[in-house]
Amino acid sequence: MTAEALAAEYTTTADMGELAPYAGGPDLTDAASHNGSVQLTWEDGTQADFPLMWLRDHCACTQCRHPQTRERLVRIIDLPETLPEPAVTLTESGALHLEWPAMEGFGVHESLFDAGWLHQRADASRADPLDVDRKTPWTSAIADALPVVDHHAFMNTEAGLSDWLQALDRYGFAVLRNGPTEPGEVIRVAERVGWPRETNFGRHFDVVSMPDPNNAAYTAVALEPHVDLPNWQRPPDFQMLYCLANESEGGESTLTDGMAVARALRDRDPEAYRVLTETEIDFRFQDESSDIHYRAPVIGCDDYGNPTVLRFNNWIRDTLRLPAAEVDAFYRAYRRFWQMLRDPAWTLRFMLRPGEMIAFDNLRVLHGRDAFDPNTGHRHLQGTYLDRDLIRSRQRVLERSRA
């Protein structure tokens, strides 16, 4: 095909079968096939090599990518292990056109790549924008600048929802205010984002003082800072606690940026940090119908030793099964971390009011409450859990329309 014919055929942006925006990026100024790759140069000076197999695998034509589901149809296992050099052309609209010669089992095949789409993928080391760590550590001083979103704005506007999602990303918590006090509102709030995650405590749970409790939360006692369900292999990523009534004396809530405290522990007492990140201990919840157990360190880390998952919950810590020689070191480290988690300098304290909801990253931000006196008035919170995948999904979908 001549360059003129191509230019006439491809006057619009190549359809890459993506819902995330990619059009409008810099145009390609040069493309050449060499040594099993296509070398590309864009008008902003960016240069990148794309191996032939990668390009063939990412062909977005309707035979290679399903036009409805946008899922991959092309199977590299059906192609020769070494691909022949394609004819490389730039179209008038700045897209990359490849014409693959016939190969065993395949006729001539054409691939068209949008220049902006390729530009987004020029740096393979660049993470998905939402996977970039945007966490801002905080202390008790955050009380002066709480991430608060109005319930009506959250439920009815994209901006309100987006502000709430961004606060969760950044601070690991967000407050909703001025909501109704109808039972079940916590589920309606969760459904604004995705689907609530069910656990052995149900689709939602009622935090009230009960006569026959199966969990500390269902009593009136104080709750030390903790994460929920560390006894699960995969504890809930996010928790939401919605206040319907709070007339009892006491019962102030607390939030603590446990990830910030864990990093401080690593600086101040590296040995305690090492013990809590390397020593696996048991967590267990048991009642008449469940027995859910998991063994893991109190502080889970990534490959670089940075804390990623906290499992601090003293009342569902199970029998400590460690060699006797390790027991004292564990208790020392555990006590040290606990002392720091209790430090008022790290603790945000507040009274939840009816119609308010806190949502928090259950693996990062620890929550707690003071004891309350159930004889002085009614206290009723409803809670549920949400998966991080659904929080991220809602953010990505919102970002499509904002781009």
Q: Catalog residues that contact Fe ion under the rule CB under 5 A.
A: 228
Minimum Å gap between C-beta 241 and Fe ion is 8
- Report the residue number, 228 or 361, with the smaller CB distance to Fe ion: 228
Give the residue at shortest CB distance from Fe ion.
228
- Report the residue number, 17 or 383, with the smaller CB distance to Fe ion: 383
CA trace torsion 313, 314, 317, 319 (10° rounding): 170
End-to-end, the C-alpha distance of the chain in Å comes to 35
Minimum Å gap between C-beta 220 and Fe ion is 14
Minimum Å gap between C-beta 186 and Fe ion is 14
Minimum Å gap between C-beta 370 and Fe ion is 14
For residue 366, give the nearest of 209, 257, 279 by alpha carbon: 257
Q: How far apart are CA 164 and CA 341, in angstroms?
A: 25
Minimum Å gap between C-beta 228 and Fe ion is 4
How is residue 195 annotated by DSSP? Answer: -
How is residue 198 annotated by DSSP? Answer: P
- Report the residue number, 155 or 216, with the smaller CB distance to Fe ion: 216
DSSP string, 312-376: --GGGB------HHHHHHHHHHHHHHHHHHH-GGGEEEEPPPTT-EEEEETTTEEEEE--EEGGG
- Report the residue number, 41 or 215, with the smaller CB distance to Fe ion: 215
- Report the residue number, 218 or 330, with the smaller CB distance to Fe ion: 218
Phi (first) and psi of residue 311, to 5 degrees? -125, 70
Minimum Å gap between C-beta 311 and Fe ion is 13
Question: Radius of gyration over alpha carbons of the chain, in Å?
Answer: 27
Minimum Å gap between C-beta 383 and Fe ion is 8
163: Cβ–Cβ under 8 A, 6 or more apart, which residues? 147, 149, 153
- Report the residue number, 337 or 385, with the smaller CB distance to Fe ion: 385
How is residue 280 annotated by DSSP? Answer: E
- Report the residue number, 94 or 368, with the smaller CB distance to Fe ion: 368
Distances in Å between the alpha carbon of 262 and those of 134, 158, 276?
17, 34, 10
- Report the residue number, 195 or 315, with the smaller CB distance to Fe ion: 315
Phi (first) and psi of residue 129, to 5 degrees? -50, -35
Minimum Å gap between C-beta 58 and Fe ion is 45
Q: Where are the beta strands (DSSP E) in 85-131?
A: 87-90, 96-100, 109-113
